[in-house]
């Protein structure tokens, strides 16, 4: 069985249902990607989530939810006395904003056990991590995670990195650019968001972004730019892939996460990078037309 390992933080999600009511769920960028990957990969793939949770009731419910959704939890560490982080989504005209309570999140310790980390990635065919994964970790642990991903890549895994950037997680730090580039150097596929790139590296265009990560050592770069589509770079090839317009933009919460999952699912199962990006655009359009981070998708309509 082939093995897709996504690494990061799953949080308790509170979403506004109107009239002062909040709905509780579980989500987070790399978890969302794992969730969509499970739905889009063939049955001969196992999808695992690598994180750390506490020993509290919410952590137990989170693990139960993961398992019920077909995601393997065998790589999840349980931290005594710890608990998961929490966030709340506010929506306005389909765009989301977040309030976070994650300072003591157990996931910040997901890379503390170096031996566990390397053993967890030893069987991986795909390793997926994001800029948020790096940002929640202490700097030394972030370096260890990148090194473990690089080892997995040298052993034959496809390492994919989404530059997903949240400014508040990097506040007061000066290593943002360096860690992003180091993670990209460990990856074969980089999936940067255009807005994230301008926030981290300053004004740029898609060509500059593609060049940045090709020079870092990545083989395939897919620059995500929302409604303006995506640009795929592979060697000397540059192809713009138009976005697919949804019937209505309801919630963009997991647009990028579902794009990453659907791109990787198709790419590792034999599609070209361009065809995989076209499929991902179709799936992302389905996701933004529904409320919530985790929504049903129809692979057949994205084929």
**Rounded to an integer, what distance in angstroms lies between the CA atom of residue 31 and that of residue 27?**
6
Query: Measured on CA atoms in the order 259, 261, 264, 266, is the torsion positive or negative?
Result: negative
Residues known to be catalytic? 257
Q: Is 19 helix (H, G, I), strand (E, B) or coil?
A: coil
- The answer to whether 257 and 251 have CB atoms below 8 angstroms apart is no
Q: What are phi and psi of 257, to 5 degrees?
A: -65, -45
Q: Which of 119, 127, 125, 118 is nearest to 160 (CA)?
A: 127
Length of the chain: 303
Between CA 251 and CA 104 the distance in angstroms is 28
Which of 225, 192, 226, 196 shows the shortest CA–CA distance to 210? 192
* CA atoms within a 13 Å half-sphere pointing along the CA-CB vector of 199: 16
Which residues are CB-contacts of 270 (< 8 A; sequence separation ≥ 6)? none
Secondary structure (3-state) at 264: helix
Tell me how many degrees the CA angle 279-128-146 measures, rounded to the nearest 5: 145
Are residues 274 and 239 in contact, defined by beta-carbon separation less than 8 angstroms?
A: yes
How far apart, in whole angstroms, are the C-alpha atoms of residue 72 and residue 34? 10
What is the DSSP track for 232-254? EEETTEEEEEPPPPPS-----TT
């Amino acid at each position: 069985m082939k093995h897709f390992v996504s690494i990061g933080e799953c949080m308790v999600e509170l979403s506004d249902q109107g009239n002062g009511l909040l709905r509780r769920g579980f989500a987070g960028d790399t978890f969302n990607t794992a969730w969509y990957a499970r739905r889009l990969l063939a049955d001969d793939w196992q999808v695992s989530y690598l994180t750390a949770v506490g020993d509290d009731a919410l952590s137990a419910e989170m693990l139960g939810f993961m398992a019920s959704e077909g995601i393997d939890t065998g790589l999840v560490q349980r931290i005594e006395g710890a608990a998961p982080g929490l966030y709340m989504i506010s929506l306005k005209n389909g765009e989301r904003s977040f309030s976070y309570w994650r300072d003591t999140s157990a996931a910040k310790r997901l890379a503390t056990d170096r031996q566990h980390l390397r053993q967890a990635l030893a069987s991986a065919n795909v390793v997926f991590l994001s800029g948020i994964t790096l940002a929640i970790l202490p700097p030394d642990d972030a370096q260890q995670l990148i090194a473990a991903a690089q080892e997995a890549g040298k052993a034959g895994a496809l390492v994919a990195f989404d530059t997903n950037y949240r400014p508040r997680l990097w506040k007061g730090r000066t290593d943002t650019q360096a860690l992003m580039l180091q993670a990209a150097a460990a990856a074969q596929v980089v999936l940067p968001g255009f807005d994230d790139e301008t926030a981290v590296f300053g004004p740029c265009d898609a060509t500059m972004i593609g060049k940045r990560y090709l020079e870092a050592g990545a083989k395939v770069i897919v620059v995500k730019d929302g409604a303006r589509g995506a640009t795929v770079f592979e060697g000397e090839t540059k192809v713009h892939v138009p976005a697919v317009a949804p019937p209505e933009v309801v919630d963009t919460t997991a647009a990028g996460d579902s794009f990453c999952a659907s791109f990787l699912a198709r790419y590792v199962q034999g599609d070209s990078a361009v065809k995989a990006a076209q499929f991902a655009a179709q799936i992302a359009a389905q996701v933004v037309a529904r409320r919530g981070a985790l929504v049903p998708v129809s692979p057949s309509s994205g084929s």
